Every structure is written in C-alpha cells, then in structure tokens.
Copies of this chain bind each other. A is one copy, B any other.
Amino acid sequence: MTTPTSSSTATHDVETLIAERIPGYSLAAPFYLSKDAFDLDIAAVFATHWIFVATIAEIPEPGDFVTVEIGSYSIIVVNDDDGVRALHNVCRHRGARVLLDPRGSVGNLVCGYHQWTYATDGALLHAPDQPPGFDSNCFGLKRINVRTVDGLIFVCLADEPPTDFDDVATRIAPYFTAHQLHRMKVAAQEDIIEEGNWKLVMENNRECYHCEGNHPELTQTFFPTYGYAPDQIPARLRNAHARFLAAEAELDKACTQRDMPFAAIEELSNRPSGFRIQREALDGAGESYTRDGSAACRRLVGELDNPRMGRLTLHMQPNTWMHFLSDHAITFAALPIAPDRTLVRTTWLVHEEAAEGIDYDLAKLTDVWQHTNAQDSALVARAHTGITSPAYTPGPYAPNEYQVNDFVTWYVSRLDAYLRR
C-alpha cells in the first residue's frame, strides 16, 4: 500500500534535507529516526572515517583480540606479531562469524563451523578437504585499515581512509604521550546500550548545558562553565568561574614547568578527521573524577609526578571522547546499532602496575562516570523519544552548545561529501 501520508519521510531525500538545514539548529527528524538515514550514516560516516574502537591495553599480548560491531559490520581487532590488525569477522567459506566472543586470546583464528583456519594477519592457513587447485590466497579474511596513536586504536572500513588523520595524530599525540597509554591496563569496562540515535549520544556529550540539572556527581569536578564564552558567564556561575580561572592558572603553570602542551586545538567541523584537544582544570581537589576531586588511584600513570594535572580531553569525530587524568584514563566509544540504539563503551584504564584494592578501589574509580553515563543514557532516550513526535521541529542550540553545532555541521558536510563523491 503506497500512500501520500504527511508523516512519511520517504518522500524527502537527503539532499533536500541537507539543503534545508538551518545553521545553529538541530537536525530534521529523519536524520535521527529513519532506517535509510541510519544506513547512510554507516556508509558515509562509519565506513568512511577513522573510528576509535579500542586501546592497546585491551589486547596487550600477541593473539589477544576484541570483536567490535559497527552497524552490522563485525570486526576483529587482534594483536598480531607485527602490530595491531583489523579483519572482517566473516569466514570466507560460507560467511559464518569466525569469532563469537567479545574478547579473548587465540593462536590462529579458527571458524568453528568447518574449521577454516586463519593466521592473525588474516591469511587462510588451512581449509579442510578442498579440491586440487583451491587457492588459499584468494580466501583470507578481508583486511581493514587500522592504525594506532600511542595506544589508541582506530579502524577505517574504507579502502581509502581520510588522509588528514596523519596531521591529527601528529598534533594530538604530544598531549598524552606523558600518560603512556601503552603501559596501562583495563581496570573496568562498561557497555551501555542507549535508546537513542548515535548522533544524539554525540550531541549530548558535546555540551555541558545539561550538566547542572543532571550530573550532580560530575559537576563536583567538571566545571559547569564548560562551553561558555568568558564574557557570557551567567551570574549563577560566577563563583564557579572564579574557581576555574584560579585552577587554570595553576594548571598552566604546572604544564609549562613540565613542557606539556595544554592549549586548546579545536578543528571540529572543517575537516574529515574533526577533533578537539585541550588540557583543562578540574574543580575540588583538582586531581581526578571523584566526588571530592582527589585521585582515585595512588599510582599515577606514566612518569607523572603531580596529581593536579586536570583532565586532558580529546574529542574526535564521529564517535569518541576521552579523558586522560594523572591517575587514570577513561575512553568512550559510541557504536551505532540501529537508528534508535547505540552502544556506549566506557573503559577505565590505570597504570599496569597499579593493584586493585591497594592502589585503587574499583568502586571509587568508576563511581562518577557510572552515574554520569546512566544519567546521560536517560537524557539520550528522552531526546530520541521526543523527536519521534511528528510535532518535532529543529530547535536552536544555545551559545554554550557551539560544539554540538560543530558536530552537526561536520556531520552534514560529511554526508554531503559522500553523496558528491
């Protein structure tokens, strides 16, 4: 039954919707809701750009692997003798999923269906009972572009990844080399399936306009002035802003003494590999994301000698944000599952020699962001559900939501580039 209904989105095409977008406003509903838009997002965004999927701490030894799903892609990220490899988790025989576990350690990659056996570089080592003339070279696991930046692992499903990532890697690495991610271990990992479109997950993360009303634990240390221009601080936040300025002055000094970069680089919307990095002060004791701001782990990371190093925060389009603190690091990956469902994977990392129960208490380490994640998850669901109403129309971002607007602008420009390719 084909009918002209006013609520149908099928009569719009994406080019029209892109053309109609009002700068500074949220997107039209189909971008958040429709299966077509979701499929386009996977193709134009997630299968075209560099996507953060894991840290080296998750696969420290040769043979260690994680499997990651991006839309309906399943990807094996494995520590190969020659470095990190990314492979499609699809047997070349009849398409069975090769590895079923989310993580583990293997010698070779063996498909459990008919025992086709691949090396960790994807090469087909053995396929039982094949006829003469069968060419194993034609049936290796398909490889995916992968690269690491000081222990952060990114994959790109496209044959020709964005070339500007080299520049980004060069510029961000100096900010966190002192944290020595490759010498950290995973203390905890939490997967939340949020009931909202992945872009609403990212939009929610790109502003702290919602923090005062929703994140009582986080705002003990995260300054709620985030995103405000200095001359637009509202009266109710002036005390907080004064504390922020004092803490920033101290942090700048500590960084300068140690020759650690801290100034913001913000190129969120004007390049394929949009990003933002900055080291910023924390409130309270200024050391970590805890209720009072004191460190959650006694063993500092890397060679750091001072716990009051604030938060080094990295945001990369389209799917990650992360915080490097003196005592731990937290990475976040948003991985789309369906138009209305997104996996948010949070990983807490500490020094590889830190001992649980001695150097850190796991509950204290994860406390603030477990609460914050749960609160954010509810907000994302609230936003998504609201947008399902046909009465929704795009609304204006506030000035302190400029990074949300940057994300949306980046997103629209990437769709546009994809459609014109």
Residues of A within 8 A of B (CB): 1-10, 12-14, 17, 26, 29-31, 34, 36-37, 39-40, 42-44, 47, 71-74, 88-98, 100, 112-115, 127-131, 134, 139, 142, 203, 209-210, 212-214, 228, 232, 234, 379, 382-383, 385-400, 419
Contact = CB atoms under 8 A, between A and B. Distances in A.
A5 B36 CA distance: 8
A13 B1 contact: yes
A213 B127 CA distance: 13
Contacts of A234: 128-129
A23 B259 CA distance: 65
B40 A3 contact: yes
A413 to B, nearest CB: 16
Given A5-B42, A26-B94, 10 more contacts: A1-B36, A1-B37, A3-B40, A29-B95, A89-B386, A92-B395, A95-B386, A95-B394, A96-B383, A128-B398
Query: How many protomers of this protein does the assembly include?
Result: 3
Q: Which 10 A-B pairs have the closest CB atoms?
A: A88-B391, A97-B386, A95-B387, A96-B386, A1-B30, A1-B36, A5-B39, A95-B392, A95-B386, A3-B40
A6 B31 CA distance: 17
A6 B128 CA distance: 34
A97 B14 contact: no
- Most chain B Cβ neighbours within 10 Å, of A90, A112, A130: A90
A229 to B, nearest CB: 10
A8 B39 contact: yes
Contact of A114 (B9, B209, B419): B209
A93 B391 contact: no
A419 B1 CA distance: 14
Contacts of A399: 129-131
Secondary structure at chain A's binding surface: helix, strand, loop or mixed?
Answer: loop
Given A13-B2, A382-B112, A383-B96, A209 B129 contact: yes
Nearest to A41: B5
A114 B398 contact: yes
Contacts of A228: 129
Contact of A73 (B36, B88, B390): B390
5 contacts: A5-B40, A7-B39, A26-B94, A26-B95, A129-B400
Given A13-B1, A14-B1, A115 B39 contact: no
A256 B40 CA distance: 64
Nearest to A379: B113
A235 to B, nearest CB: 11
A341 to B, nearest CB: 15
Contacts of A71: 7, 390
A115 B203 CA distance: 17
A47 B13 CA distance: 24
Given A112-B382, A129-B209, A93 B7 contact: no
A97 B388 CA distance: 9
Nearest to A10: B2
Contacts of A36: 1-3, 5
A162 B131 CA distance: 36
Contact of A34 (B1, B43, B387): B1
Given A2-B36, A3-B37, A43-B6, A382 B14 contact: no
Contacts of A90: 386-387, 389, 391-392
